[in-house]
Chains A and B, each alone.
Chain A
Amino acid sequence: MSAGASQDLATQPITSRRDPRYEVVMYRHVGVEGAHTLDYYRSHGGYEAARKALAEMSPGQVIDEVKASKLRGRGGAGFPTGVKWSFMPPVDGRQRLLVVNADESEPGSFKDRYIMEDDPHQLIEGMIIGCYAIQATKGMIYIRGEYVKGYERLVGAIREARDAGILGRDALGTGIEVDITVHRGAGAYICGEETALMNSLEGLRGNPRLKPPFPAQAGVYGLPTTINNVTTMTSVVHIITRGAAWFASMGTDDSKGTKLYQISGPVKRPGVYELPMGATFRELIYDLAGGPKEAAKGFFPGGSSTPPLPWTDDNLDLPMTYDAMAKAGSMLGTGGVIVIPKEKDIVSAMYNVVRFYAHESCGKCTPCREGIATWLPKMYQKLLAGLGTREDLTLMEEMVRNTRGTAFCPLADACAMPVQASFTWFRDEYEYLVDNGQPMYTKNDWWDA
């Protein structure tokens, strides 16, 4: 938003749901009975975008449109999607693949789940467009094993789509071949990391791979592969329907479009909310989720891997964008806001987070396997047992510093960075705990049973 001369309201970007120009498009069917069926989807304009892309545009034009929309991947990394698609090598006769990462294991993220359960056709349509754009005849959805209902809905929707000729050798009657299969994961967060996902798809251990080579060069079975998040694909449907300009009319310079944000923790109405990018935390937490039910002291902006921020007006008024979060010393991630209540001890809360990463560490590399998965949780246990010392705090900080940037994949950083932020913003609680042998606030104990 530029300062100075008056703006024409019509050309100002849309950054709030309150803006009358804003319309919820991706999430509008979720929660509606029967919305997962093909009939419902088609009666609400479904597959028109796919037909338009396949029949009226070339693959290159689809990529250009997505580039122009400035869509950034919704899986957490925020890489520009059109650019990622253009990394695919020229067609050379080898099978090309579009893989959709539906592993959604980031604590605080659950947007993909409801899309797959209640609006699976939107994902399928997005994949048809995506496959066409990168000239892949096969799409594969890797869905976390725990999403049983989502899996069943997806499989059902794919069956409907095949029967109706929407998928298959002659997709939508355009002569283009596109088909989709669904593969279930088996309970590993690390399989949401794209290279570990590919290994898991191939039936290997879910350990991440070296990059380079990148998936576009050598992906699943060494074939050219593009990997995208579920709601990146659903965004594509609407970009094709309404145009790149429409998409780019929402959001800020660096973060464009409409996005599904999530909010959990002690708020009145936790859930998924679709908002234009650039909307503030305040809008999400208060206007949409009804505000916290009790006093809050901090929040994770985008899932447990993002460093938590203290509960201040300045922070609450920050726009939920990639750049703003980076500037604030955190990350947008998947936009899964987790509210931290004041009365919950931060050391205990962080131990809960650390337990997750310790459990999910794949074990490939030393700093994560020994640091994150072994030493760090034991240090937290020591603190919470009332046996910690100030020296232990220094040791933990040093240990966590040694895992930053040294591990094979970002999982170690995903644990280390929030821990470091908790020391930055809430060190007083750590110190209280070691000095007094008791936590400053209530601690969790549901795992001690």
Chain B
Amino acid sequence: MKVHINDVELDLPQGTSVIDAIFAAGYDVPYFCSQEYMSPVGACRMCLARIGAPRKDREGGWILDEATGEPKIFTFPTMMATCTTQVMEGMVVDTLSEDVKQVQNGMVEFTLINHPLDCPVCDKGGACELQDRSYEYGSGVSRFEFDKRHQEKHHRLSDLITLDRERCIHCKRCVRYFEEVPGDSVLDFIDRGGHTYIGTLDEGLPSNFTGNITDICPVGALLDTTSRFRGRNWEYQHTRTTGMDDASGSAIMVDGRTGRIERVKAALNPDVNKTWIDDGTRFGHEYVDAADRLETPLVRKNGELQPASWEEAAAFVKDRLAGMSGKDVGIALRADATLEEGVAAKALAEALGTGQLDVAPRPAASVIPAQDPAAFADLATSDGILVVGDVTEEVPIADLRIKDAMRGVTPPEMMAHGVPIADLRLKEHPQLKHDILTVAAPYRVDLMKHAGLAVRYPAGGETALFGALTKLAEGGEEGQAAGAGSLDEGERAALGMGVEDATALVERLKAAENAVVVYGGFVLATKVAADAAAAFAKAVQAKVLILGPMADSYGLELLAVGPSHERYAYPEMLSAARALILSNLDPARDPDRRQALKDKDLLVVHDSFLTETAQVADVVLPATTVFEKDGTTVSLEGRFLSVHAAPVDAGESRDFVGLVGALGEAMGQRLEGRSVRSARRVLRKRFELDPAELPPYGVLYRPKARRQARVAIRTREASEGNLLIVPSMLRIEYLDRNPHLRQLSGGARLRLHPDDAAAQALKGGERVTLRVGGVLRRATVAVDAGLTPGVMLLPCLPDQPVGLEQADLSTLARDDAELEVAG
């Protein structure tokens, strides 16, 4: 429809809000309560404009202006909130005249009445929407001479977020965010009129996505506690990069100052995370600036680790390696290494003649769907979703995209100014379509509260579950669901739900136009389970979204960074090899292994901290964190994304590319991957795209030719166990150096059913140590009636991935020692 914004004429689709029309025309109006991806409400009254439109008479023709013969423009009697008004054919919008300016001026004045003059001490200063709008639309003088209302300042809303109630301008973005985005309604207005304030009913904010409210709060009312008073917004250097906390590929903005990272915010990627990130990604940066960060290489001389230069350390390694054959050497990287680091590792392995190269954690099954891969866009528009696992912890952004699908509103079209400011299709108090979602897990997971069907199956029962579902999907006449008769008793038990529910689920997925099956670590733990899941997806013609364990699991697998044979894999190489180069891995958490590692001919540890393994190493090389690298990562969607280094003062830390560069020089060889540039030459050739020129939202990589199936590795069968290692939004290995997340979580939690807790005489809150699969774990006991008796839960580590393990209860001990190492 044709719309006139001041002197600009636009043609816009029906349903566009007037405020978006205004911005599309290149003009602007102030607003506080509208927010991209959230419902428009018209509460702040800043966006008011003078609007008129032609009207039709009873016969359906335009009422004409007698003087001009054109359709007469009827001006609405009052100024209209442009965020909640739809464009109409022939609408005329005036945002420039004096009376509009006067209203804008008046609204600024009203908004500032009770707002404290905190700017000098407020973290939001310089990036504050109220400051900016007051400057642009206000009069610069306050005529309010009375006492402002007084409310609680620096209220601890949660361990992560500080609320200053006086600064709140009641835009309601935070309240609406919680209700509409994660669907955790944990915040609301309390009291009314001028006394209204923001508060909760629960203790803290029970949600994995609380930090986003600090991004969207237009003023300094809701603030990130980890960065409180750490700097002025104009002092920060902003680095847009990709979050490497999980496999989602979320866009983040890293704010740093004086060589430190002070804050991580969400950045926009409409195809992946929109403008949201999870709390683990946001608040888990404090470890980067921990006091005990390694700054220089260390070499063991006379039994002691002494500081050394990179050249010295590299020469030491080269000397020790002399005389060793390929099969004596093992190299392993953590699965959030960049593709460039992967190229470097492969080059080093080739130079050393070893096939013992691996990435950890690496599940038993491939993280790349063999057919019909789903992207987040598919998930967000799906009409039939089956989730197996705890997606809210494993890849939290997937949880939000699932809720997009349940809300039933397709992603908005981008406009000239970007994401629409006021999408009128979004309403407050959305009714979710719960029916489209089924969530299956061995314990109660958060997403179950929104699912139309929640299924509890026994831990380790993924293969049987998918097997039984596939039977239902395939059997019967002409592809109809087989029905109860085709399943035996064991298969029925494996379903974890009644046969009617299972049949309905299968029917729903088959009938869906865009069905998606989502699964992660529990299913990938064994190849049979993963194959069963893929078979089921095929049987119901669903796309597959696989949640790999770490940020670049997909990319490193695509690059074929792996062993030449199963027995050369990690952690098997730890016993076989005489010399090990380990990057960001800590196998010495297992005390038996620690002893064995001490005895190796050469142990090189590349890490940011002096871990258990580093402590017994011969050479320790300081590693950059994921915030300090330039590189490329491939998310679980198969999306190539750039990683950009933030300016952090990390001494002489290097990434694995830098390590290989140093080692190559010592060996006198020009290895591929000795530099990011040289590594990218390899990537360019291999993937036919330029990692140095990736667009900001990344590139979904879908190779034309089907990739060769790689060597089946880890035919580990479904194990028995009494403890399930579960995914966690938190990086347990860094938790002790992330004090705010540590405070929030109380440390890694060992969750037990009340019966199990009673059997071990354990109470919630107690600190314990326990050997799980050999690895010594430290945890805080939590009693949880949502579990199944006989199976405890403990969050994962890179060296202890998701899956069923055996915990040796005879090693359970109360832990009085001061914690040095978390988890």
Contacts and interface: CB of A to CB of B under 8 A. Distances in A.
A406 B114 contact: no
B113 A363 contact: no
Nearest to B195: A363
B194 A361 contact: yes
Given A205-B188, A362-B193, A374 B114 contact: yes
A412 to B, nearest CB: 10
A181 B193 CA distance: 29
Contacts of A230: none
Interface in A362-409: 362-367, 369-371, 373-375, 378, 382, 395, 399, 402, 404-408
B136 to A, nearest CB: 16
B193 A359 contact: yes
Contact of A366 (B45, B78, B144): B45
Interface string B74-91: 000111010010000000
Interface in A197-217: 204-206, 210
Interface centre among B44, B77, B192 (most CB of A within 10 A): B192
A360 B192 CA distance: 8
Nearest to B143: A395
Interface in B268-327: none
Nearest to B77: A405
A369 B170 contact: yes
Interface residues of A, number: 33
B110 A370 contact: yes
A204 B146 CA distance: 33
B540 interface: no
B44 A370 contact: no
B42 A408 contact: yes
Interface in A254-306: none
Nearest to B102: A402
A433 interface: no
A370 B113 contact: yes
Contacts of B170: 363-364, 366, 369
B194 A374 contact: yes
A339 interface: no
Contacts of B43: 364-366, 408
Contacts of B143: 395
B425 interface: no
A97 interface: no
Contacts of A363: 170, 189, 191-196
Contacts of B56: none
A243 interface: no
Interface centre among A359, A367, A395 (most CB of B within 10 A): A367
Contacts of A360: 193
B666 to A, nearest CB: 67
B251 interface: no
Contact of B194 (A204, A210, A367, A373): A373
B103 interface: yes
A205 B450 CA distance: 23
Contact of A358 (B48, B79, B189, B193): B193
Interface in B206-250: none
A365 B192 CA distance: 11
Interface string B121-156: 000000000000000000000011010010000000
A198 B77 CA distance: 26
A258 B188 CA distance: 45
Given A210-B41, A362-B192, A402 B429 contact: no
A188 interface: yes
Contacts of A59: none
A405 B146 CA distance: 25
A46 interface: no
A437 interface: no
A107 interface: no
B149 A374 contact: yes
A78 interface: no
Interface in B412-457: 429, 431
A205 B192 CA distance: 9
Contacts of B110: 366-367, 369-371, 375, 402
A222 interface: yes
A366 B193 CA distance: 10
Contacts of B169: 366
B46 interface: yes
Nearest to B109: A402
Nearest to A211: B84
B111 interface: yes
A366 B172 CA distance: 12
A370 B114 contact: yes
B739 interface: no
A385 to B, nearest CB: 12
B571 interface: no
Contacts of B42: 210, 365, 408
A10 B102 CA distance: 56
B254 to A, nearest CB: 34
B193 A378 contact: no
A378 B113 CA distance: 12
Contact of B79 (A364, A366, A373, A406): A406
B144 A369 contact: no
A188 B194 contact: no
B106 interface: yes
B385 interface: no
A373 B193 CA distance: 6
B103 A402 contact: yes
B113 A406 contact: no
A367 B188 CA distance: 21
A405 B193 contact: no
B329 interface: no
Given A363-B189, A363-B192, A408-B43, 7 more contacts: A210-B84, A358-B193, A364-B170, A369-B170, A370-B194, A375-B113, A404-B78
24 contacts: A188-B192, A210-B84, A358-B194, A362-B192, A363-B189, A363-B191, A364-B170, A365-B43, A365-B45, A366-B110, A367-B106, A374-B113, A374-B114, A374-B194, A375-B110, A395-B143, A399-B106, A402-B102, A402-B110, A404-B78, A405-B79, A406-B48, A406-B79, A407-B45
A-B complex: 5 closest residue pairs judged by Cβ atoms: A405-B78, A402-B106, A363-B196, A370-B110, A361-B193
